[in-house]
Amino acid sequence: MQNATGRRASLQSDDRNDDYHAVVSDLVSLIAHVQASVRLIESAIAEEPSLGDGDEEIAANIVVLDDVTPRYAKANATLHACNAGLGVALHILLDTWSSKRGANQPAECPRRPVRSACRA
């Protein structure tokens, strides 16, 4: 009877570990995806044509029907906030995991650095 109970506890522990690792993996993937999106938006903003010296005459004859730069800027700011929030969530999970494992036990899930796409 004790053996069955011990196995059940072990299975539950393994399920929790699997769930934990799945959540951490998903967060890392989301962070990478958000950072890739930030790079794409920043690239698109950088490629937007800008008016340099001497282009005022040309600009006077052009009507811009849809300026996407403000929307890019808003999306970029939102993605930076999302990246920061996901990074915090990941660090909280990793800190919780470390504290539950204890200082004397090796952690099964190593800390991975999260590169922030935010700029100061």
Q: Is 47 within the bounds of a domain? A: yes
Tokens of 101: 């494992």
- Residue 48 is predicted with a pLDDT of 73
Q: Is 11 within the bounds of a domain? A: yes
Kindly report the pTM of this predicted structure: 0.60
Q: Is 108 within the bounds of a domain? A: no
Q: Is 114 within the bounds of a domain? A: no
Q: Is 116 within the bounds of a domain? A: no
Count of the separate structural domains present in the chain: 1
Q: Is 109 within the bounds of a domain? A: no
Q: Phi/psi of residue 58, each to 5°?
A: -65, -40
Q: Is 27 within the bounds of a domain? A: yes
- Residue 119 is predicted with a pLDDT of 42
What is the radius of gyration, based on Cα positions, of the chain? 24
CA distance 45 to 79: 14
Q: Is 89 within the bounds of a domain? A: yes
Range of the domain at 58: 2-101
- pLDDT range class, residue 41, cuts 50, 70, 90: very high
Instruction: State what percent of residues in the chain have pLDDT above 70.
Output: 57
CB count in 10 Å sphere of residue 17: 13
